[in-house]
């Protein structure tokens, strides 16, 4: 799996799941919550080819009760943006998550499900994925006279 997807899964793992597990995708199922990467890019690249990277997430929720979906998305934003510790691995370290757009009403579907949406920015260090080791020295046999 790519480092970007590993970071996405780590962020989803931090999200409280009040009425539905968070799925990966732009649109949730009925009475569900979905999260997807909207865009992203390196903020800076280091000589080691590691990076300070950021991507934006869309977070959408549907529910037949408007208060339930609004509360769930707002709780997710609160937990992610107020956390003082973030997941890490050998390949990444999340450094910050902030709100770009607070959860807001987007509409109501024909099946009476309320749709809310929001967005978050995730910043992290993307460590050099290639562990550089010095090349092996190969000795050539001496020519015999």
Measured CA to CA in angstroms, residue 22 lies from 40, 45, 127, 135, 139 at distances of 21, 31, 27, 45, 56
Domain contains 13? yes
Instruction: Give, as one character, the DSSP assignment of residue 136.
Output: P
Residue 64 in 3-state DSSP?
A: coil
Domain contains 136? no
What's the confidence (pLDDT) of residue 144?
52
**Which residue reads 């409280």 in tokens?**
16
The neighbour count for residue 62, using CB atoms within 10 Å, is: 23
Determine which of 11-20, 83-92, 125-134 has the lowest per-residue pLDDT on average. Answer: 125-134
Domain contains 139? no
Mean pLDDT of 83-105: 95
Residue 144: what are its φ and ψ, rounded to 5°?
Answer: -90, 140
Domain contains 142? no
Domain contains 89? yes
Give the pLDDT confidence of 53-72 residue by residue, as tens digits.
Answer: 999 999 999 999 999 999 99
Domain contains 71? yes
pLDDT band at 138 (very low <50, low <70, confident <90, very high): very low
Domain contains 138? no
Q: 45: domain CATH number?
A: 3.30.2000.30
What percentage of residues in the chain have a pLDDT greater than 90? 71
Q: How many domains does the chain have?
A: 1
- pLDDT of 129 higher than 70: no
- pLDDT of 73 higher than 60: yes
**Residue 119: which domain range?**
3-126
Tokens of 112: 């009476």
Mean pLDDT of 111-124: 97
Domain contains 132? no
């Amino acid at each position: 799996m790519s480092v970007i997807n590993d970071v996405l899964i780590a962020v989803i793992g931090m999200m409280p799941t009040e009425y539905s597990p968070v799925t990966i995708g732009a649109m949730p199922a009925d009475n569900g919550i979905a999260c997807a990467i909207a865009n992203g890019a390196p903020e800076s690249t280091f000589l080691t080819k590691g990076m300070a990277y950021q991507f934006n997430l869309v977070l959408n929720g549907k529910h037949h009760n408007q208060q339930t979906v609004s509360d769930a998305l707002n709780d997710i934003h609160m937990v992610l943006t107020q956390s003082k510790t973030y997941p890490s691995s050998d390949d990444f370290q999340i450094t910050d998550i902030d709100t770009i757009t607070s959860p807001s009403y987007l509409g109501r579907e024909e099946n009476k499900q309320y749709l809310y949406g929001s967005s978050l920015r995730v910043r992290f260090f993307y460590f050099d994925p290639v562990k550089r080791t010095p090349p092996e020295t190969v000795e050539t046999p001496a020519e015999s006279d």
